[in-house]
Chains A and B, each alone.
Chain A
Amino acid sequence: MSDLVAGPAPVEPPGKRFNWLVLVYVLMTLAVIGGAIFFVVGGAGADPTGGCGGG
């Protein structure tokens, strides 16, 4: 009964909510790129074709 009187709870517009998912993805992306730079630049170098296909 009291629900009928009070009406539905106000819904926050989705655009105003902080999107934690995006933050998680951004942090993950930065970590992945940082790790890749660490491995690749500190690694054995690269052939002109990329990788080490030619040896």
Chain B
Amino acid sequence: MVVAEADPAIAAGGSITRWWLVATVALTLSAICAGVLLAPPESSRVGPALTSLLFLGASVHVGSTAWFYGVPAVRCHMWRNPKRYLVVPAVLVVATVAAVLLVPRSWVPVGLLAFFAWQFFHFQKQNLGVAAIAARATGSPSLVPSERRAIVLAGCGGTAALVGRPELLRIAEAPEVPGLFAVGVAVFAAAAGYGVVAVLSRTPTGRSPAFLVVYLTSLLFFAPVFLFDSPYAAVAGITIAHGLQYLLLMGLLAAAPNETGARSVVGVLVLVNVAVVVGLGLSQASHFHEAHGWTRAFYGIYLGLVMSHFVIDAGLWRLRDEFPRAFLTQRLPGLLARRSTPALAE
């Protein structure tokens, strides 16, 4: 909060910018702390507080993607791009259902490792997006390729470490790749150092304190993976943090004035209802992983829909494309409307 108030770049951006920056950093760090503090001792059952936070950060955040299908402008964009928003999700669900029903169970752990590798890469793509929005919101210059590369590489290091230690993901009987965790450590450390050097080489006016905090939070997002042996301390915190970052942005989108200029509390309530109902369905479907017979198909639907969320998100938040840029800027002008920095204005 102090950083945000003391930052002249944020003062120029208005209260929504200040609010989003503070909330994003606070939610990310407090979620990671919650994962550490609420992690159950080995062989104990996870408590209701952490279960609820994981439900919110995992299932509800994935479920909230369904809200996009109810926004007329987004739906038109989806109809114009059926491959990404209709065909690929349908193929993913059908293929995953077929896989969990037909593939020998001994192959499932390898498939799950690939699924989680994609999931954690998706986490880091969001972190990259959050850092890019922070740069835009504070009026700092856009991320340069070295800064972007460092965030992506740090995410690759974290993902490699998790795949190299599948017990952190609680995947029973997953094959261990010797040395992969150590490779992950090395890549993450190198990327972290590279990123710090890259961001500190900006001119002082181009690295506002608030932008720096968000950038470093994104860069070091996977640090808990290397610090803790408990799966919940290492992974649950970043899972919740990812989901809360997303829900915050989705809440702002739902609360924003729509195409007719109307702002309605009903929009936020609709988002909450859609996200919780779809999230509850996903959460319940995920419990069918041990089922036998055709009911195991629900587990395949769960995995397919989560992967569809990765694909849909990668399209709808892609600011380089015309429609997402226009839609998101219209709904979140305080965060995304381009402001010139003091450095650029000179």
| Whole-angstrom distance between the Cβ of A43 and the nearest chain B Cβ | 7
A54:B54 contact, CB within 8 angstroms:
no
Across the interface, A51 reaches (CB within 8 A) one of B58, B235, B265, B276, namely B58
| Whole-angstrom distance between the Cβ of B245 and the nearest chain A Cβ | 14
Could you count the A-B residue pairs with CB atoms below 8 Å apart for me: how many are there? 118
| Whole-angstrom distance between the Cβ of A42 and the nearest chain B Cβ | 9
B45:A45 contact, CB within 8 angstroms:
yes
Across the interface, B280 reaches (CB within 8 A) one of A21, A25, A40, A49, namely A40
B169:A51 contact, CB within 8 angstroms:
no
Across the interface, A46 reaches (CB within 8 A) one of B46, B168, B243, B265, namely B46
Q: Which of B8-16, B152-160, B202-210, B266-274 contacts A (4 or more CB under 8 A)?
A: B266-274
Contact with A along B251-283 (1 / 0, CB 8 A): 000000000000001100110110011011011
List the A side residues contacting B211 at CB < 8 Å: none
Q: Which of B22-30, B285-293, B330-338 contacts A (4 or more CB under 8 A)?
A: B285-293
| Whole-angstrom distance between the Cβ of A15 and the nearest chain B Cβ | 13
- Does B320 have its Cβ within 8 Å of any Cβ on chain A? no
A50:B55 contact, CB within 8 angstroms:
yes
B280:A39 contact, CB within 8 angstroms:
yes
Q: How far is the CA of A30 from the CA of B306 in the complex (A)?
A: 25
- Does B52 have its Cβ within 8 Å of any Cβ on chain A? yes
- Interface residue range, chain B: 35 or more
A51:B116 contact, CB within 8 angstroms:
no
A54:B55 contact, CB within 8 angstroms:
no
B277:A40 contact, CB within 8 angstroms:
no
B52:A32 contact, CB within 8 angstroms:
no
- Does B112 have its Cβ within 8 Å of any Cβ on chain A? yes
- Does B236 have its Cβ within 8 Å of any Cβ on chain A? yes
Q: How far is the CA of A3 from the CA of B265 in the complex (A)?
A: 38
List the A side residues contacting B85 at CB < 8 Å: none
Q: How far is the CA of A32 from the CA of B280 in the complex (A)?
A: 10
- Does A5 have its Cβ within 8 Å of any Cβ on chain B? no
**Given known A-B contacts A32-B272, A45-B45, A46-B54, A55 and B172 have beta carbons under 8 A apart:** yes
| Whole-angstrom distance between the Cβ of B22 and the nearest chain A Cβ | 25
- List A8-22 residues whose CB lies under 8 Å from chain B: 21-22
Across the interface, B303 reaches (CB within 8 A) one of A22, A28, A44, A53, namely A53
B169:A49 contact, CB within 8 angstroms:
yes
List the B side residues contacting A48 at CB < 8 Å: 35, 54, 168-170, 231-232, 234-236, 239
**Given known A-B contacts A41-B52, A45-B45, A50-B57, A29 and B286 have beta carbons under 8 A apart:** no
Q: How far is the CA of A7 from the CA of B235 in the complex (A)?
A: 69
A53:B286 contact, CB within 8 angstroms:
yes
Contact with A along B210-252 (1 / 0, CB 8 A): 0000000000000000000001101110010001000000000
Contacts from B to A (Cβ < 8 Å): 35, 45-46, 48, 50-52, 54-55, 57-59, 112, 115-116, 119, 168-172, 231-232, 234-236, 239, 243, 265-266, 269-270, 272-273, 276-277, 279-280, 282-284, 286-287, 289-290, 302-303, 306
Contacts from A to B (Cβ < 8 Å): 21-22, 25-26, 28-29, 32-33, 35-37, 39-41, 43-55
Q: With A43-B284, A46-B283 given, can you name 15 additional A-B contacts, CB distance below 8 Å?
A: A21-B266, A25-B273, A29-B272, A32-B273, A36-B279, A40-B280, A48-B169, A48-B235, A48-B239, A50-B55, A51-B287, A53-B116, A53-B302, A53-B303, A54-B172
